[in-house]
Amino acid sequence: MRLSRLFLPTERQPPADAEAVSHKLLVRAGLVRQVGAGLWSWLPAGWRAHQRVAQIVREEIDGIGGQEMLMPVLNPAEIWKRSGRYDIDELFKLDDRKGAPHVLALTHEEIVTLHVAAAVKSYRDLPKILYHFQTKGRDEARPRAGVLRTREFIMKDSYSFDRDEEGLAASYDLHAEAYARIMERCGLEWYAVESDVGMMGGIGAHEYMAPCPSGENDVALAPGYAANTEVATAEPQPAGELTLSGELHTPGAMTIEAVSSALGVPKSRLLKAFPIVLDSGSRVDVFVRGDHRVNEIKLQNALKSGFRPAREEEIGRPPGFLGPTNQVKTVYDAAIGEGSWVVGANRPGYHEVIELPAGERLDVRTVVEGDTVNGAPIRIEPAIEVGNIFKLATRFSEPLGARYLDENGKEQLVWMGSYGIGPARIAAAAVEQSHDEQGISWPKAIAPYDVEVVALGKPGSDEAAAAEALYDELRAAGLSVLLDDRAAGAGEKFTDAELLGCPLRLTVGRRSLESGEAEAVARRGRTDLDPVPLTGAAEAVLERWRALP
């Protein structure tokens, strides 16, 4: 492609409201443009990067036996009502001209299960892996960070159909292996973490995370351990010393901070009350250490029930001075060992020291930096979720009637898994992870073009002609090449080339005509490589190309 003809609107300055690096650079390099909140167009060069990611994904899913198809974005509401997902807030809902309710699919479990339910009758029809690349609509409460969290995006979603749990486990493992290859091929720093199964139920899930500062998830990491902090478990750091006992006068001290400093007791020796009401209506007081926070997802999972914070009148005791009481069921977090603890005395102005025996504990707190896993301290870092794999079990096959007959003629439910990956997020995460002051530094497998040839000298000059010849030869050799043939100064061309971030840059100028060589520079690190001959360049360029990291 000739840069003089490419629709690549670069900007010297980033959008004023951009925060995330990928947002700034993707816009500045002319790869994406915003249409509305969470709505983005991919411009030609950006779309090439997106497509290269998609092609890698396609190859790997095909490689585990996936069959590509296409399902519609617009779905009749009825099937979403049957699956029980119609009431999700993120679901875009609309009526057609006849007034019939429709939705924009968030994902395609409903539709794919519909087809499988209609067509699969026998155990002989299983297993199957079906997938497509299709637009997803999600009415996000808060789109953000450019292309990292949008209301419409393309997802590769695949679905596995097996006859039982073991079959599902095998399909799940195939996807895990394919996803690992995808992340590697895309050049991402990544890890798979245990994740919450969410409101979807299901029996297991992993997320594929790409660490980056603009990430929305916090991931807890230790050698051999990686988990979303939504579900992470770790050994707490030891609680501090407590020498007080009995009743303690603490007027006005209603926060952990205030009690801690008023009494001179470390926060880790205080207990914090979290009064809740379960879905069943029963009241429960949850206690965690003063230096810890309740993790509502872990709490919900541990209680096996949804809950909401209790209202003041439901608590019935003075806020700020809550302690355990016989009237309300009590749950202690696992970090609360046996021993003495400072708790609220259930009357204003007083706390007290109580002795807790060993007993039942539930792990319901959010881990913090420095907690340990197998003796090693964890660190917590932000990451963006670029893919997920999920054991759905019979969550959809049951309501949508996906059943088969086994060898004994007995009807069985199909066991399903669902597996998503977002090429746009992979591309954006790559930018987050691979950039410098000058711009993007694409991993070579997903760059918009493999090589950018910068032609110096005026259009029509000998230099330009030599650059043209090089351009033709490299394309003939199978490389994707961008030729900067604009009538612009050298500085502008180099600057734009570094902003766009193609992995290899070749410069053809007056020096080249004298030496018979084009200079070669690797974008990553902006490191000079051995120059390549102007005539018969293809082999030398391919060699440089292969040697790039």
Residue from 8, 24, 30, 38 that binds RNA (CB under 7 A)?
38
Q: With CB under 7 A as the contact rule, which of the stretches 71-79, 319-327, 406-414, 492-500 interacts with RNA?
A: 492-500
State the minimum distance, in angstroms, from the CB of residue 531 to RNA. 9
Q: Which residue's CB is nearer to RNA, number 23 or number 351? A: 23
User: In DSSP terms, which residues pair with 211 in a beta bridge?
Assistant: 383
> Is residue 492 part of the contact set for RNA (CB under 7 A)?
yes
Calpha distance 476→258 (Å, rounded): 73
> Is residue 216 part of the contact set for RNA (CB under 7 A)?
yes
Residue from 6, 22, 34, 120 that binds RNA (CB under 7 A)?
34
State the minimum distance, in angstroms, from the CB of residue 512 to RNA. 5
State the minimum distance, in angstroms, from the CB of residue 192 to RNA. 15
Q: Which residue's CB is nearer to RNA, number 345 or number 428? A: 428
Quickly tell me which residue has 């043209």 as its tokens. 468
State the minimum distance, in angstroms, from the CB of residue 462 to RNA. 11
User: In DSSP terms, which residues pair with 244 in a beta bridge?
Assistant: none
Which residues within the stretch 87-146 sit at the binding site for RNA (CB under 7 A)? 88-90, 106-107, 140-146
Calpha distance 254→251 (Å, rounded): 8
Q: Which helix (H) or strand (E) holds 528?
A: strand 527-533
> Is residue 231 part of the contact set for RNA (CB under 7 A)?
no
> Is residue 428 part of the contact set for RNA (CB under 7 A)?
no
Site string for RNA, 384-413 (x = CB under 7 A): ----x-x-x---------------------
Quickly tell me which residue has 């492609």 as its tokens. 1
> Is residue 516 part of the contact set for RNA (CB under 7 A)?
no
Site string for RNA, 55-94 (x = CB under 7 A): ------------------------------x--xxx----
Torsion of CA 70, 73, 76, 79, to 10 degrees: 70
DSSP classification of residue 333: B
DSSP, collapsed to helix, strand or coil, labels residue 455 as strand
Count of residues near RNA by CB under 7 A: 66
Which residues within the stretch 458-487 sit at the binding site for RNA (CB under 7 A)? 458, 487
Residue from 7, 16, 264, 411 that binds RNA (CB under 7 A)?
16
Calpha distance 286→273 (Å, rounded): 6
Which residues within the stretch 256-295 sit at the binding site for RNA (CB under 7 A)? none
Q: Which residue's CB is nearer to RNA, number 138 or number 289? A: 138
DSSP classification of residue 145: T
In this structure, the strands spanning 225-228 and 217-222 are: antiparallel
State the minimum distance, in angstroms, from the CB of residue 523 to RNA. 10
Calpha distance 395→159 (Å, rounded): 13
DSSP, collapsed to helix, strand or coil, labels residue 98 as coil
> Is residue 2 part of the contact set for RNA (CB under 7 A)?
no
In this structure, the strands spanning 307-309 and 271-278 are: antiparallel
Which residues within the stretch 525-544 sit at the binding site for RNA (CB under 7 A)? 526
Residue from 20, 25, 182, 431 that binds RNA (CB under 7 A)?
20
DSSP classification of residue 12: S
Are 344 and 351 in contact by the 8 Å Cβ rule? The answer is yes
Q: Which residue's CB is nearer to RNA, number 190 or number 494? A: 494
How many C-beta atoms lie closer than 10 Å to residue 329's C-beta? 12
Q: Which residue's CB is nearer to RNA, number 136 or number 317? A: 136
> Is residue 19 part of the contact set for RNA (CB under 7 A)?
yes
> Is residue 512 part of the contact set for RNA (CB under 7 A)?
yes
> Is residue 547 part of the contact set for RNA (CB under 7 A)?
no
Q: Which helix (H) or strand (E) holds 344?
A: strand 339-344
Calpha distance 33→46 (Å, rounded): 10
Q: With CB under 7 A as the contact rule, which of the stretches 66-74, 93-101, 119-127, 503-511 interacts with RNA?
A: 503-511
DSSP classification of residue 243: -
Among the listed residues 27, 11, 55, the one whose alpha carbon sits nearest the alpha carbon of residue 480: 55
Among the listed residues 482, 478, 480, the one whose alpha carbon sits nearest the alpha carbon of residue 467: 482
Are 322 and 273 in contact by the 8 Å Cβ rule? The answer is yes
Calpha distance 225→221 (Å, rounded): 6
State the minimum distance, in angstroms, from the CB of residue 254 to RNA. 20
Q: Which residue's CB is nearer to RNA, number 60 or number 152? A: 152
Q: Which residue's CB is nearer to RNA, number 352 or number 517? A: 517
> Is residue 296 part of the contact set for RNA (CB under 7 A)?
yes
Are 479 and 452 in contact by the 8 Å Cβ rule? The answer is no
Q: Which residue's CB is nearer to RNA, number 346 or number 366? A: 366
Calpha distance 83→513 (Å, rounded): 68
b/e 54-77 (16+ beta carbons within 10 angstroms → b): bebbbebbeebebeeeebebebeb
Residue from 126, 335, 474, 499 that binds RNA (CB under 7 A)?
499
> Is residue 198 part of the contact set for RNA (CB under 7 A)?
yes
Site residues, RNA (CB under 7 A): 9-20, 23, 34, 36-38, 85, 88-90, 106-107, 140-146, 149, 198-200, 202, 216, 296, 388, 390, 392, 418, 420, 438, 456-458, 487-492, 494-496, 498-499, 507-512, 519, 521, 526
